[in-house]
Amino acid sequence: MTTRLYSHHLTAGAPLKLWDSHLPFEPQAMDQLRNVAQLPFIHGHIAGMPDVHWGQGATIGSVIATKGAIIPAAVGVDIGCGMMAVRTTARADQLPDNLHAMRTAIEKAVPHGRTDNGGRGDRGAWHNVPEAQAQAWSMMAAEYDAIIEKHPRAKAFNTANHLGSLGTGNHFIEVCLDESDALWVMLHSGSRGVGNRFGSYFIELAKQDMRKWFVNLPDADLGYFPEGTDHFDDYWAAVSWAQRYARVNRELMMAAVLRAITPFLPAFAVTEEAVNCHHNYVSREAHFGENVLVTRKGAVRARVGDLGIIPGSMGTGSFIVEGLGNPASFNSCSHGAGRKMSRGAAKKSISLADHAAAMTGIEARLDKDVIDESPAAYKDIGAVMAAQSDLVTIRHRLRQVVNVKG
């Protein structure tokens, strides 16, 4: 019999089940969870994953099942953000001794970062959209145009030119080795500017609806759309589209990275696609005998047999996992280690020397602009994994040898 690892907390509304054993838990995150628990359409309880921490609008690492309404902030603005990983036939002993040229090749192959305030000179977008990206966009453009026709203010500046691009913040590309020294490529990104615009727009629209209907909420960010309303249907169309965009974005990036590393290795093939999964998204699912909407903001679906990726930080490795289908978590697991420092706190407390020491043996950026992503800013991934041994089983442990940040 599996030991129950979550703690149970009563609130003024739905209870909380938190996989928080021996892990830091911010009071601000608990306040956010207690607020959302007061909404009348929460189904059963709210689940908090081991990487749970405060997030803009709603808690990162939360799994919220609802019946009859959807909360845009519970998905967030990085709609469809997620991970993709593939295993190759290449081996550790086939890697070049110096990996700097490989990192540089990946950086040239995938637009990353953000300059020119995201304008026309932005290095994080394509200036001339490649054929593969243009073709992918052509298959999504009509649906996007239909959404924008109804909601012109949701239009984004970057659309096709963000397909196959990385972004900033905690998004990354890595070349990794597993416990058998097989080489993997892994990446983390979402729906980029177009998804961010959808998320921001509909969060504000939900707030406006709450004011119009005189609905008092414990937190204004928890504005929602009741099912059956036009705005619910419009948001569902937009979020579904953005989730598809995010998946295609990762596929295009993965193809570009595999091409970029090919000159540095003997001929190799892809042997296993571990997963291409979202961890900021909403889906229709059945839980505890009811058909509900499940929003996972910083959580991965982990039904029995589902494969997922749980990254640590840019210096601590990652895990390929298989779901155990724990109903108490709504069949979910964490999406990473989770932050223990805000970006501002990390920049103040982590030195360049500390960062360089933490990245020993990894080909990666060591400059001040990635200090807020340094390993010390994140929770201990080992403790996070131990806290969810009832949610997933570990299939592979990956250690990065190349890391690319935006």
Burial of 208 (0-12, 13-18, 19+ CB in 10 A): exposed
Phi, psi (deg, nearest 5) at residue 139: -85, -10
Rg (CA), the chain: 21
Distance from the Cα of residue 343 to its chain's centroid: 17
Burial of 238 (0-12, 13-18, 19+ CB in 10 A): buried
Among 275, 358, 257, smallest CA distance to 311 is for 275
Contact status, residue 9 vs residue 15, Cβ threshold 8 Å: yes
Contact status, residue 42 vs residue 224, Cβ threshold 8 Å: no
Distance CA(39)–CA(24), nearest Å, equals 26
In sequence order, which ranges of 213-351 are alpha helices (DSSP H)?
230-261, 343-349
Distance CA(53)–CA(32), nearest Å, equals 10
Q: Which residues are catalytic?
A: 335
